[in-house]
Amino acid sequence: MKYPGYHQSREMSATNESIGFDIPSYMASVGRQARAAGRCLARSGTDVRNEALRGIADTIESSALELKQANRHDLEAGRARGLSSALLDRLTLTDSRIAAMALGLRQIAELPDPVGEVNELKFRPSGIQVGRMRVPLGVIGIIYESRPNVTADAAGLCIKSGNASVLRGGSEAIHSNQAISRCINQGLEQAGLPSDSVQVIETTDRSAVGELLRMVQYIDVIIPRGGKGLIERISQESRIPVIKHLDGICHVYVDDQADLDKAVSIAHNSKTQRYGVCNAMETLLVAQAVAAELLPRLQSLFERDQVELRGCQKTRQLLGNIEPATEQDWSTEYLAPVLSIRVVADMDEAMDHIQTYGSHHTDSIITEDYSKSWRFLREVDSSSVMVNASTRFSDGFEYGLGAEIGISTDKLHVRGPVGLEGLTNQKFVVIGNGNVRQ
């Protein structure tokens, strides 16, 4: 019991009763403990952190019954509160989801340790040798919504990268998250790491989030995971830097020099391989010269998959019988079987469209033209820019990062899928031999 009211608060919050303790002082305790634990984690050996990850995986598996029991409380409360079936599904812990959490942690344990890596120690004329060493960021605050597996995933990535973490899940998952938290703490302690290395906020009181976002002295970065509303609110309110992902308005541009077979399969895959994901195509841009040949081919595929098409005037002339795309459509992330289509004069018009309506997430050109492929790669200012590939590849696992805590559409620190490296930074190291500056 490291701060007053700890155990009591867990019980009270978990039953959603009124909070019997002081949120600001509770959060300050969490912050202080995270900072202290972060120092231990940053100094811990690769083997110790990996042992903790495997220990947590084992504990999660052996606690499957308790996890499902805790989860049932959440599901009952959720049904009583009238949560949608989609939300209840996301909230549910099944045996296979529990196994997947454990597997994910073991996979993180297998990844190379980013911490302590030294790049390019170069001698300078002064005689010093200068390089950079990769180091953890410190303490990471993660705010997320209903899926309880995020608790294990996020904790795992933070442990591996040597960062302490403060996790705040959705109130509807509080029992499940607390149960997972107990497995995490046990695994940490068995490996000899402080259990405070991962702290799951024990109260559902919303003011705890406000406190978290102001603790500049204890928290180094905030990562929100969830819907756009959550992320916008957190970005607005946070006094701490935020790594965020707002929209995923992804485009495929089919150039007049495209191989149309590639264009058909990539456009189809980018839209239909999965709908509710940020890297699905939302708008298809087609060069005028190939529109008449390409669009009818795509239309029959999309009709088969019951994808609703909305088009610009030229598209509608070619396809007929589809709804017009409004100005609003170009900046909408459907996350659904809906696609807006626009015919453009050329690549410049396509890039202008992407600049105007895109969200700097993922954009792909389909072309066999060498110069245009490089211009598109260089000039489109998105976190992932592709040639002749499906936007669905924009993903930490597909890119070989081994794991992913999210996708950043920000300009600073990290762009695109954020893996272990994105949870670290590099400091300078100087190897001297008595050198002084002249």
Q: Return residues touching its own copies (CB under 8 A).
A: 39, 42-43, 116, 122, 124, 126, 128, 130, 133, 135, 137-138, 220-221, 241, 259, 261-262, 265-266, 268-270, 273, 355, 364, 377-379, 381-390, 392-394, 398-400, 410-417, 425-437
Residue number, 73 or 214, with CB nearest to its own copies: 214
Whose structure tokens read 């890119």? 399
Residue number, 13 or 391, with CB nearest to its own copies: 391
What is residue 303's three-state secondary structure? helix
Q: Would you call 65 exposed, middle or buried from its count of C-beta atoms within 10 A (0-12, 13-18, 19+)?
A: exposed
Q: From the CB of 310, what's the least distance to its own copies, in Å?
A: 23
Residues, the chain: 438
Residue number, 43 or 79, with CB nearest to its own copies: 43
Nearest to 46 by CA among 118, 103, 116, 101: 116
Residue number, 109 or 365, with CB nearest to its own copies: 365
Distance CA 324, CA 341 (A): 9
Q: From the CB of 317, what's the least distance to its own copies, in Å?
A: 28
Q: From the CB of 42, what's the least distance to its own copies, in Å?
A: 7
Nearest to 388 by CA among 229, 242, 269, 231: 269
Give me 87's structure tokens: 């939300």
Distance CA 411, CA 391 (A): 20
Nearest to 382 by CA among 362, 366, 398, 364: 362
Residue number, 95 or 379, with CB nearest to its own copies: 379
Q: From the CB of 186, what's the least distance to its own copies, in Å?
A: 27
| Phi, psi torsion values for 262, nearest 5 degrees | -60, -45
Local structure of residue 382 (DSSP, 8 states): S
Q: From the CB of 258, what's the least distance to its own copies, in Å?
A: 10
Residue number, 181 or 383, with CB nearest to its own copies: 383
| Phi, psi torsion values for 356, nearest 5 degrees | -75, -45
Nearest to 382 by CA among 417, 347, 344: 417
Residue number, 138 or 406, with CB nearest to its own copies: 138
Give me 362's structure tokens: 């993922």
Residue number, 23 or 380, with CB nearest to its own copies: 380
Q: What is the DSSP string of 182-237?
A: HHHHHHHHHTTS-GGGEEE-----THHHHHHTT-TTT-SEEEEES-HHHHHHHHHH
Residue number, 133 or 338, with CB nearest to its own copies: 133
Q: From the CB of 364, what's the least distance to its own copies, in Å?
A: 8
What is residue 406's three-state secondary structure? strand
Give me 398's structure tokens: 């597909």
Q: From the CB of 287, what's the least distance to its own copies, in Å?
A: 17
Amino acid at 15: T
CB atoms within 10 A of CB 110: 11
Q: From the CB of 26, what's the least distance to its own copies, in Å?
A: 24
Q: From the CB of 248, what's the least distance to its own copies, in Å?
A: 14
Q: From the CB of 384, what's the least distance to its own copies, in Å?
A: 4
* Rg (the chain; Cα; Å): 24
Residue number, 7 or 122, with CB nearest to its own copies: 122
